[in-house]
Amino acid sequence: MDFNNIPELTHIINDFLYDENYTLHPLIRNILYLLYIWCVHPFYNGNGTVYIILLSVLFLKNWYDIPDNLQEYFKICSDSDILVNARHNLDYEPLIRGFLELFPHETTQKDT
Give percent above pLDDT 90 in the chain: 0
Nearest to 102 by CA among 47, 46, 42, 34: 34
Determine the pLDDT at residue 102: 76
Q: What value does the mean pLDDT take over residues 75-79?
A: 69
Q: Is 30 inside any structural domain?
A: yes
Q: Among 27, 43, 44, which residue's Cα sits nearest to residue 95?
A: 27
Query: What's the CATH number where 54 sits?
Result: 1.10.3290.10
pLDDT at 112: 43
Quick one: pLDDT band at residue 111, thresholds 50, 70, 90?
very low
Interhelix angle 26-40/6-18, nearest 10 degrees = 180
Quick one: CA dihedral 11, 17, 19, 23, positive or negative? positive
For the segment 50-68, what is each residue's pLDDT rounded down to a tens digit? 777 877 787 777 666 666 6
Number of independent structural domains in the chain: 1
Average pLDDT, the chain: 74
